[in-house]
Amino acid sequence: MVPVSFVLPFPIFTLLVSWGIGIIVVAMLIRAFASWFGIDERFAFIRFLARLTDPFIMPVRRILPRFGRFDIAFIVTWFMLNTLRILLLQSIPPGW
């Protein structure tokens, strides 16, 4: 007898991974655009985005130097988060 795998009616884990990492990436993009236009952490929304994205960006910034106004750490963090998203989505069983 072949065991029947349990399939959720709504793929909650897949959505959590996709939307969770997607929200962090969008927050990083908004923060990057805000820094290009000189909007700093005096604004509450930018402070909120900084608290949300700093745990992901700061470890990369400690390793990579900053090249003037161009932040390489953002690009590396974006690449690492997308890679993590792909690996997590491949490891979740179908329908979860």
Assess contact for 92 and 7: CB atoms under 8 A. Answer: no
Phi, psi of 94 (to 5 degrees): -60, 135
How high is the pLDDT of residue 7?
59
Number of domains in the chain: 1
Name the region of 71 (left: φ>0; alpha: ψ -120 to 50; beta: rest): beta
For residue 88, give the nearest of 7, 16, 29 by alpha carbon.
Answer: 16
How high is the pLDDT of residue 48?
94
How high is the pLDDT of residue 53?
94
Which residues of the chain fall short of a pLDDT of 50?
A: 2
Asked whether residue 77 is domain-assigned, the answer is yes
Phi, psi of 5 (to 5 degrees): -80, 145
Asked whether residue 63 is domain-assigned, the answer is yes
Asked whether residue 57 is domain-assigned, the answer is yes
How high is the pLDDT of residue 56?
93
pLDDT of 15-36, one tens digit each?
899 999 999 999 999 998 888 8
Asked whether residue 35 is domain-assigned, the answer is yes
Asked whether residue 7 is domain-assigned, the answer is no
Asked whether residue 81 is domain-assigned, the answer is yes
Question: What span, in angstroms and rounded, lies between the C-alpha atoms of 94 and 45?
Answer: 37
How high is the pLDDT of residue 93?
79
Please give the residue range of the domain that contains residue 35: 21-91
